[in-house]
Structure 1
Amino acid sequence: MAELGVMMMMLKDQVAEQGMFAVLQRIKDMNINAVEVSQIPMSEENTADLERAIAELGMTVGALSVALKPGPTATGDNLEEHFDKIVSDCRRLGTTYVRIGMLPLAAMSSKAACESWAAECEAAAQRLAAEGITLCYHNHHVDLAQFDGERIFDIVRRVAPSVGFEVDLHWVQRGGMAPLDMLEQYTGVCRIIHVKDFRVKPLPQEAIDALDAGDRVTFDRMFKDIVEFAEVGQGNMNWPALLPAAEKAGADFFFIEQDDTYGRDPFDCIADSRAYLASIGY
């Protein structure tokens, strides 16, 4: 069974305020034993706290977030400038996956740009593989865009066969592809899964009032803006079918993630997601 964890991007403010180890203790107390580190500096202090959590709490650091090179979508260490540090961090923490959190904006603009970026990823992935580390990349809805009938996903798979996928099932759904179809078609390269739900909220009264007042622009904006990130089990995703399919597709980790908690304490959101996942056997 894939190991269940949490994407620590959700808790970056808490780490900054309370310290890494205190946050990891709270995660462990929710019966979650693995984490993926993103948008949190891999400073010596934070890395030492992760080591301590592995030794004292039995935590697993499933993946670290990296960028291919510096740029506007890069957060934290990048493989161009910090390769040796990234390898050292992985060895210290027993981590065998690093992940690129977002396709660079320039690589979204054309098929040639995407192919060029994917070729760079392939070179980086081969270099990491020699160190026993697998490079993955994480999708958003834009990765379902097509150039000449070929999805960005498919371009990356074709040009960079050494790169694994961190499949975010919410963004697959938002990109217009059935998540079960994605998992079936990408069996063998789905290494990590982001588990977050897709909620459609009720149409707010303000939208109806705007339409009644003749303000079609405001109504249209609010009507289109009713999709939310949701706690697992509080949206419309079919998790009892999706999670076994993800395991069949080769996933080693399921990371709970919610990009926006809409004012709720993220620990409460994680606890709700954890409780639901326990209720369906995870």
Structure 2
Amino acid sequence: MPVLGLQLMMLKDQINEKGMYEVLRQVRELDIDAVEVSQVEMTDELIEDLVRGRADFGVETAAMSASIAPGGNGFALETEFDRAVDACRRTGSRFLRIGMMPFSAMTSKQACEEWAASVEPYAARLAEQGVTLCYHNHHVDLIQFEGERIFDIVRRVAPSLLFEVDLHWVQRGGMAPLDMLKAYSGACKLIHVKDFRIAPLPAETVERFEAQDMDMTEFYSVFLSLAQFAEVGQGNMNWPELLPAAEEAGAEYFLIEQDDTYGRDPIDCIRESREYLASIGY
């Protein structure tokens, strides 16, 4: 069974306030076995905290973030390749992940191919060092250019680059997650376990519209923005079918994630997600 972890983007403020080591203590108390590091600066101190957290609490580092060029919070492989590999060895992480391709790469087939071609040499070099580079999708990765999805372009041009599948974004992109897992079986190494719900239509919006205090364009913008990220088990995703299918597709880690908690304490949201996953056997 894949290891159950947490995408630490949810606790980035806590990491910045009290350090990674104390956050890993909290993660362990939530009965979570691994973490993915994202949206925090990869300082030497933070890496050392990951090493200590693994030794003291048994919390694995499932993956850390990377990019090709400098400018993000992860390792920039152009300039920090050796440091990234060393951090993986020290923490025990077997995965690095790219959170998103540049927006410019999403504009055409040629642009996407050029980006994927620039990534492939780094993915191949990392594989030689025992580290797998994965690409994390959003809904835009379901864009089709001449009948070929961005997913397909990436697999064709960068075969050494595997996938971190965000099932919420697959659903939002218009592809059934079960179909995606089947289509790309073998390449799906990391899975973001993130639910998808539709919020109630605000009564105030309806009242304003019916009172003709809001035109159709404004009303429809609200109507189309009801999609939300949800605690696992609190949305419409079919986890009892999705998680076994993800495991069959090659998943090694299931990572709880919720991009927005809508004012709730993220610890409470994580706890609810963890309790639901326990209730279905994870």
State the TM-score, normalized to the length of structure 1. Answer: 0.98
Query: By how many angstroms is 1:33 displaced?
Result: 1.0
1:93 aligns with 91
Equivalent of 1:193 in 188, 191, 216:
191
2:34 aligns with 34
Mapped partners of 1:44, 1:161: distance in 2: 31
What whole-Å deviation, never above 9, does each CA across 1:93-138 have from its counterpart, x for those lacking one? Answer: 0111000001111110110010011111111111111111110000
CA contact (8 A) 2:64 2:74 kept: no
1:167 aligns with 165
CA contact (8 A) 1:20 1:46 kept: yes
Partner secondary structure for residue 186 of structure 2: coil
Amino acid at match of 2:259: D
Mapped partners of 2:204, 2:175: distance in 1: 31
TM superposition outliers: structure 1 runs of 4+ over 6 Å: none
Query: By how many angstroms is 1:13 displaced?
Result: 0.1
Partner secondary structure for residue 263 of structure 1: coil
Equivalent of 2:205 in 207, 217, 220:
207
Partner secondary structure for residue 217 of structure 1: helix
1:223 aligns with 223
Q: Which ranges of structure 1 fall in alignment gaps of 5 or more residues?
A: none
Partner secondary structure for residue 237 of structure 1: coil
What whole-Å deviation, never above 9, does each CA across 1:116-173 have from its counterpart, x for those lacking one? Answer: 1111111111111111111000000000000001000000011111111000000000
1:117 aligns with 115
1:152 aligns with 150
Query: By how many angstroms is 1:218 displaced?
Result: 2.4
State the identity %.
61
1:44 aligns with 44
Is 1:271 the counterpart of 2:264? The answer is: no
Q: What value does the CA root-mean-square deviation take over the aligned residues?
A: 0.9
Partner secondary structure for residue 80 of structure 1: helix
Q: Which ranges of structure 2 fall in alignment gaps of 5 or more residues?
A: none
Partner secondary structure for residue 229 of structure 1: strand
Amino acid at match of 1:127: R
191-200 or 117-126: which moved more?
117-126
Equivalent of 1:129 in 124, 127, 130:
127
Partner secondary structure for residue 68 of structure 2: coil
Amino acid at match of 1:160: A
State the TM-score, normalized to the length of structure 2. Answer: 0.98
Mapped partners of 2:254, 2:119: distance in 1: 23
CA contact (8 A) 2:42 2:73 kept: no
CA contact (8 A) 1:207 1:218 kept: no
CA contact (8 A) 1:232 1:272 kept: yes
Query: By how many angstroms is 1:213 displaced?
Result: 2.4
